Amino acid sequence: MKTDELREIYLEFFKAKAHEVVAGDCLVPKDDPSLLFTGAGMNQFKDKFLGRNLTYKRAVSCQKCLRTGDLDNVGRTPRHHTFFEMLGNFSFGDYFKKEAILWAWEFLTARLGLPAARLWPSVYKDDEEAYAVWSDVVKVPEGRIVRFGEKENFWPSEAPTKGPNGPCGPCSEIYYDYGADVGCGKPGCTPECDCGRFVEVWNLVFTQYDRQPDGSLKSLPNKNIDTGMGLERLASVMQGVKTNFDIDIFRPVTAEITSLTVHKDLTAAAKRSKVNAIADHIRAVIFCIADGVMPSNEERGYVVRKLIRRAMLHGQDIGIREPFLYKLVNIVTDVMKVPYPDVRSRRDDIAQIVKREEEAFLVVISTQVPKVEEAFISASSGKASKAAAEMAFDFYDTYGMPYEMLEEIAARHALKIDRAAFERLLDRQREQSRSKSKIRGEIFSETFAKKVEALGLRTEFLGYEKSRVEARVLAVLDGGEVVLDRTPFYGESGGQAGDRGLIETKSASFKVKDAKKIGDAIVHIGEPLKGAISKGDLVKAIIDEDVRSRVMANHTATHLLQAALKKVLGEHVRQTGSLVDSEHLRFDFTHMKKMDERELARVEEIVNENINKAITVTREIKDIEAAKSEGATALFGEKYGKTVRVVSVEGVSKELCGGTHVENTCQIGLFKITSESSIASGVRRIEALTGKAAGAWIEERKAAEEAKLKAEAAKEAGKKLAAKRVEDLSADIDTFIGRAASFGSVKAVVENIEEIDMDGLRALADRIRQKIRSSVVVLTTSDKAKVSFVVSVPEDIVKKGLSANGICKEMAGLVDGSGGGKDTFAQGGGKSPSNIGAALSKVNEILKEKLR
């Protein structure tokens, strides 16, 4: 049975049992700071597990997941993955253990036809209820029901003793027995043995407790079911293969990798593990990029970059020295095109991003390996070295050098990296990153958002049609934030900033500086201007229409911008993020290279053309499939409901968007790109302005350019004037020489010159030296604020002990300044022109002393 068939059969089976078929979530969980990636099917249902937003009580899904906890095992074992698909059926306070167990058994035995004798259930050691269902209802022989402790059969693992606090419960797993000819071969082998004979297929979690801070388990009022079955594992069982990497959706990928390998001195098993790891990693990379996670050195992007680099190192181990992962993108997306057509449509874009990362890593290897070699040579050899760990971590963290490569280089120099010290440095870095990004490990984190959602508040948004409404205050939160039952304020979401304005009663006024959408509520954030807003008050909610109009202009402009980028750069352009507020707009998009001036000018021109055409902007609510069939653009990584809001600019743009927009493009006024830059591999960013802000920016740049031209003209005029002054003074050179003091055969021209700058002094000194070569020249000039001077001493006189640098420093000390240079020429200045006489007297003293 093909993997695509299994996926559909599972969804249809539970749909027939009154489950809502829910599309899998993005790999980047929306509005969930507790998770780096979606790692289980239940993640998108957290609210429902907590009894909120129960629009349905039964659900079934196929969820793409990413986990990196067992990264070192990927490829080495038959069933470890970073990216995988998880089948799951869920109950939110509806059915419980009996139904979950019976339906799981029915699906595996009756629907899929697996032999009952090959299925072994396990239960938590104290869960007599689940044991009774398996034994008395399903009639599984006692010898095939295994009891495990909280590490194996409780979710989260070991929660009763170790936490975290929150919903938890025992679980029951179903194992498939590959038979006595697999694994250890011992007669008494059971799922307790990790020999490989038994594979866990399905995990049924019975969420029935709420772990308290004191460690006690309190029964939940509504008990939930959360099941998870790895699609790849189930496919391996159904297709009669011993590893997940031999199923139909992996075989074309591993075959292509194998065809690229060069003969290496590796065992067949070692080579196979490398090939399998590459196949796993490239799948993970492709789906991450498709969901908007680009390779980078930050958080999720770092995981993608790390997977690419690990896959490349595995490739080098089997003789592949050139970029090759990008060649696998077409194969993977073709294999997965039925369930994920959107990923298939982005294959060329994804391949280019992967190729760029591969090329960049090869540069890192070629430039950093010699530096690593040099650093390790300088370290002490022998036993584990803390210093080596610190060096290794620096190369790992700063340049992305894989640990395995660093360890290999260290070994070549008889150096052992202290792995424990390295891990401590890595943990510290992770903690800093976690703190910075606010990503935490609690299953149900008590963030501000969760606290708001726990109140069960719901705000009706009326801002598409109205700018002011009467409303009732539902809550005033601990920080003074206000929640209303209805509001015209747009809550920050989809890249659009929240509205600003006022909330008023007859006796109180609250200035709204921002609004955020949290769950079903819109939270108004700001400060009281007078009086106090209280729960239950009848208020007027009034948005700042000037701010809203500028936000709308900027938001509609991003739609026009995306359309123009596609037209100029190509259809590969996809939005990866945006920010729209009243001041400016920011648009992030996929493109592999820097846009040149011609491309930027053309994009800007197209946007302004569509603004000047005065095109009506329409909004419609449509079925999502109908909207997509009409060509509406969706934001990758965004999850949409069954119905969507479509914003259209006729003949130009059609996007799924919940933001606010102008009625007509002419209301945008003017569009001006202010910058274009790179923010990640394959991702560019454009920042722009509209309307009056764009006009003001242009005028500021025009004024700055004019000022620059004037300054340059003034500078040029000054240079010409200074040059003329030097020419005029050149006529006096003979006079200067004529009154120069003589010290034996050496003449010293010491003059104070008016109305000349430092360049002029240097030029005049050069001309005097050309006229009389064996001469010391000291020239000064001053005004009310400062004094400048130059000193020139010929080489033959320097040999007598006279130094231009020494004279310069002496002078500088007397005029409250500084200076210096070479023995033959030096210059300086100071802030005390009144002391110039004393400085020149000092010069004469030095000349008399050195040249007598």
Residue ranges per structural domain of the chain: 3-239, 379-434, 448-543, 548-697, 731-851
Would the CATH topology of 3-239 be identical to that of 731-851? Answer: no
List beta partners, residue 21.
Answer: 60
The per-residue pLDDT for 89 is: 97
- Is the pLDDT reported for residue 33 higher than 70? no
Q: What is the assigned CATH class of domain 3-239?
A: alpha beta
Q: Residue 432 pLDDT > 70, yes or no?
A: no
Highest mean pLDDT among 41-55, 79-93, 419-433: 79-93
Task: Tell me how crowded residue 30 is: count the other CB atoms within 10 A of its CB.
Answer: 12
| Interacting residues of 792 by C-beta distance below 8 A, sequence separation 6+ | 765, 768, 769, 776, 777, 778, 804, 824, 825
pLDDT of residue 270 exceeding 70: yes
What are the start-end ranges of the E strands in 212-336?
217-230
**What pLDDT was estimated at residue 528?**
95
Alpha helices per DSSP H over 455-592:
545-569
Query: What is the pLDDT averaged over residues 103-127?
Result: 96
According to the model, what pLDDT value does residue 437 have? 43
Q: Measured between alpha carbons, how far is 442 from 439 in angstroms, rounded to an integer?
A: 9
- Percent of the chain, pLDDT > 70? 95
Q: Is the pLDDT of residue 295 over 70?
A: yes
In this predicted structure, the answer to whether residue 283 has a pLDDT above a threshold of 60 is yes
Instruction: Please report which confidence band the pLDDT of residue 367 belongs to, taking 50, 70 and 90 as the band edges.
Output: confident
The answer to whether 660 and 551 are in contact (CB under 8 A) is yes
Peptide bond into 141 cis (omega under 30): no
Element holding 622 (H helix, E strand)? strand 617-623
Task: Specify whether the CB–CB gap between 611 and 669 falls below 8 A.
Answer: yes
Reported as type and span, the H/E element at residue 385 is strand 384-385
Which one of 3.40.50.300, 2.40.30.130, 3.20.20.70, 2.60.40.10 gives the CATH number of domain 448-543?
2.40.30.130
Entry pTM:
0.73
Handedness of CA 114, 116, 117, 120 (dihedral sign): positive
Question: H-type helices in 53-123, by residue range?
Answer: 97-105
Higher pLDDT, 651 or 852: 651
Most confident listed range (180-189, 323-332, 574-583): 323-332
Q: In the beta sheet, which residues pair with residue 644?
A: 622
Can you tell me the distance from the alpha carbon of 85 to that of 62, in angstroms, rounded to the nearest whole number?
6
Q: Which CATH number applies to 731-851: 3.60.21.10, 3.20.20.70, 3.40.50.300, 3.10.310.40?
A: 3.10.310.40
Least confident of 7-21, 52-66, 366-380, 500-514: 366-380
The predicted structure's pLDDT at residue 444: 40
Q: For position 424, what pLDDT does the model report?
A: 86
Is 484:472 a contact under the CB 8 Å cutoff? yes
Average pLDDT, the chain: 89
The amino acid that residue 409 corresponds to is: I
List residues bridging with 525 in a β-sheet.
514
Stretch 711-739: mean pLDDT: 84
CATH code: domain 548-697 is 3.30.980.10
| Confidence band of 117 (pLDDT split at 50, 70, 90) | very high
Q: Given a cut of 80, is residue 297 above it in pLDDT?
A: no
* pLDDT the model gives residue 364: 85
3-state secondary structure of 148: strand
d(Cα 203, Cα 87) in Å, to the nearest integer? 10
- Residue 606: predicted pLDDT: 97
Q: Would you call 741 helix, strand, or coil by DSSP?
A: strand
State yes or no: pLDDT of 405 exceeds 70.
yes
Q: Is 474 helix (H, G, I), strand (E, B) or coil?
A: strand
Residue 446 has pLDDT above 50, yes or no: no
What's the pLDDT at 638?
67
Task: Kindly state the average pLDDT of the residues 466-479.
Answer: 93
Least confident of 374-378, 601-605, 670-674: 374-378
Cβ-proximal residues to 154 (8 Å cutoff; 6+ apart), any chain: 124, 160, 168, 169, 170, 171
How high is the pLDDT of residue 390? 85
What ranges make up the beta strands (E) of 657-757? 671-680, 683-690, 741-743, 746-752
CA distance to 97, 103, 146, per residue, from 122 (Å): 13, 16, 4
pLDDT by residue (tens digit) across 494-553? 789 999 999 999 999 999 999 999 888 999 999 999 999 999 999 999 999 999 999 999
Q: What is the pLDDT of residues 561-591, one digit of tens each?
A: 999 999 999 988 888 889 999 999 999 998 8
Separation between Cα atoms, residue 379 and residue 769, nearest integer Å: 57
Q: What is the residue whose two structure tokens read 């869920």?
A: 90
CB 481 within 8 A of CB 523: yes
Residue 563: per-residue pLDDT: 96
Has residue 302 got a pLDDT over 90? no
Of how many residues is the chain composed? Answer: 852
Instruction: Report yes or no: 524 and 564 within 8 Å, Cβ to Cβ.
Output: no
Assess whether pLDDT exceeds 50 at residue 316: yes
| Cα four-point dihedral sign 751, 757, 761, 767 | negative
* pLDDT higher than threshold 90 for residue 461: yes
Inter-axis angle of helices 325-335 and 299-317, nearest 10: 110
